[in-house]
Amino acid sequence: MIGEPQRAFYGNQYSLTMPVFSHYGVGLWVPEVGGAIDPESEAHDLIMSVFGGMSKGERSRVKVRVRTAMTSQAKIEGRFLGGRPPYGYRLADAGPHPNPGKAADGRRLHKLEPDTATAPVVRRIFAMYLANNGYFAIAEALTRDGIPSPSAADPARNPHRTGEGWAKSAVKNILSNPRYTGRQVWNKQRKDEVLLDVNDVALGYETRMRWNNKNSWVWSDTMAHPPLVTVNDFELVQKIMAASGRGRTGTRQRKVRRHYILRGRMLRGLCGCKMQSHQAHETAYYRCRYPNEYALANHVQHPRNVYVAERDIVPALDNWLLKAFAPRRLTDTIRRLHAAQPDAGPGSVAPEIAAANKIIAACEAKLAQYRAIADAGGDPATVAAWMAEVNAQRATTLAQRDTATAAQAQAPRRLTEDDIRRLVRSFDDIRNTLRDADSREKSNVYRELRLALTYNPGQNKISVEAKSDTDYCGVTVRVRGVTRTITPPPMTIGTTLELAQL
């Protein structure tokens, strides 16, 4: 039952969803058409298509209104519109929110103010760059002096970074940030919806963040916060960067000429960084140049360059996947998949539920004790106060137990080996797809299998792990014009490939 179809379907989603409902015999009721939807009715298709168009139009209008309002707030008011403060600043309270409804909820405005610990570092970076020091020289000097990098200065918001030293990219980003001039700058990035597959539009879109042209940035008309550098120094730095060919917005974005199958999948074992995609002599490589990107004064030793060829990895990787899903290896693979499952599920008692049961039992014992005291002639007012306190604790714990029980019921249950064996048809799909797919289709399969490869050159090994999420529904790829959907079970398997095998 859908009360407002213009909020349920967007664009052509109805035409893509209704065939699935009809296939499984699920009825769809919409009051606007007088009851049940008839899949064979042209009038119903037309009405639902109109609702989809209305939804798309309303979404576009809301987007325009929101962006127009944010543009005005940034340009005229110089308002801080959210996000993490840039390195060198911290958030400060700027009074109650001007919207009465949000102010009643306790929402407040924020503004940027210089951070006493990091603001001098920003000024030093600009001064060193204007003194003809490069990115790496600046990073080395800051690391040598023991100054925490942006990720080390705020480790709670950067758990994915080591914070061992300053990176060239961090210095470059600071030099490119116009907010250090004291003006608020908005609309530096945008969200684009890109087709997942141009050959199959029904697969939908994915959202990607992209940089806007510098001419599209919105600057505040007046100073919005205390500046850390002068406008003249900032513009001079931008001219020097553009003249050196280093300006992020001064050159056209270079297109990737080659598709890398394992792009974003390769990790370096020593530093934990993602290995860069690289092409040399018409051959795809994955490399780690940690010393060239991070200042390593007084830090870990790392080879200057670590390379591994794609042509040496992919055949061995496909061979492992094909063997793992081969009919003669199913028994061993099923056993490993069964053992890799998490223990939590509806069949077991979560620690939160067990702890709540203990508290509830203790409360009930206290209530029985208080009733006995009342029956023995105890003060009724005192006993009533005791019982009210225990009843409140018991009610709170019961609510917590119900919440934990509901969360556990929604968790995926632990599959038996027979359940996994019934999923062997998905193994055949994986085998057939890997055997017939080209490089782009293989890349999609690796991504949806959540493949992670860790290269350890000192041990001559590559550790491989394939892990699918518990809410994973499958990946759809096209092989020789035929669309196939792969749905492996939500579990983890892994192996180690010897470099001698590659």
Q: Which of 66, 65, 61, 54 is nearest to 4 (CA)?
A: 54
What token pair was written down for 215? Answer: 């001419």
In 231-245, which positions are buried (b, 16+ CB within 10 angstroms) versus exposed (e)?
eebbeebbeebeeee
Q: How far is C-alpha 5 from the chain's CA centre?
A: 30
Distance CA 279, CA 259 (A): 10
Residues 307, 321 within the same domain: no
User: Is 394 inside a domain boundary?
Assistant: yes
Residues 459, 336 within the same domain: yes
Residues 156, 236 within the same domain: yes
Looking at residue 228, what is its pLDDT? 93
User: Is 444 inside a domain boundary?
Assistant: yes
Distance CA 445, CA 177 (A): 38
What token pair was written down for 456? Answer: 């350890």
User: Is 201 inside a domain boundary?
Assistant: no
Where is 127: in which H helix or E strand? helix 119-130
Residues 429, 373 within the same domain: no
Residues 238, 301 within the same domain: no
What token pair was written down for 455? Answer: 């290269």
The three-class DSSP label of residue 95 is strand
Contact (CB, 8 A) for 187 and 216:
yes
User: Is 207 inside a domain boundary?
Assistant: no
User: Is 278 inside a domain boundary?
Assistant: yes
Report how many helices (DSSP H) and strands (DSSP E) the chain contains, helices first: 17, 17
Residues 115, 228 within the same domain: yes
Residues 279, 300 within the same domain: yes
Residues 147, 238 within the same domain: yes
Residues 228, 154 within the same domain: yes
pLDDT (tens, 9 = 90+) of the chain, 502 residues, equals 888 877 788 888 888 888 888 888 888 888 877 888 888 888 888 888 888 888 888 888 998 999 999 999 889 988 888 888 899 999 888 888 888 888 888 888 888 999 999 999 999 999 999 998 888 889 888 888 888 888 887 777 766 666 677 888 889 999 999 999 999 998 888 888 888 777 777 777 788 888 888 888 999 988 999 999 999 999 999 899 888 754 444 444 555 566 777 777 777 666 667 777 777 777 787 777 666 666 554 455 566 667 677 777 777 777 777 766 665 566 666 676 666 655 554 445 567 788 888 888 888 888 888 888 888 887 888 888 888 888 888 888 888 888 877 776 665 555 666 665 655 555 555 666 666 667 777 777 777 677 777 877 666 677 777 665 444 444 444 444 444 444 444 444 556 655 544 4
User: Is 238 inside a domain boundary?
Assistant: yes
Q: Which of 440, 453, 496 is nearest to 199 (CA)?
A: 440
Number of domains into which the chain is organized: 5
Taking the alpha carbons of 407, 410, 411, 416 in that order, is the dihedral positive or negative? positive
- Judged on CB neighbours under 10 Å (0-12, 13-18, 19+), 45 is middle
Threshold 0.75, pTM exceeds: no
Q: Which residues are CB-contacts of 412 (< 8 A; sequence separation ≥ 6)?
A: 345, 470, 490
Looking at residue 163, what is its pLDDT? 63
User: Is 284 inside a domain boundary?
Assistant: yes
Given 20, 45, 77, the domain boundary residue is 77
Residues 25, 156 within the same domain: no
Residues 439, 495 within the same domain: yes
Q: Structural domain of residue 361, as residue ranges?
A: 351-410
Residues 279, 135 within the same domain: no
Given 77, 100, 116, the domain boundary residue is 77
Distance CA 29, CA 339 (A): 44
Looking at residue 251, what is its pLDDT? 44
User: Is 178 inside a domain boundary?
Assistant: yes
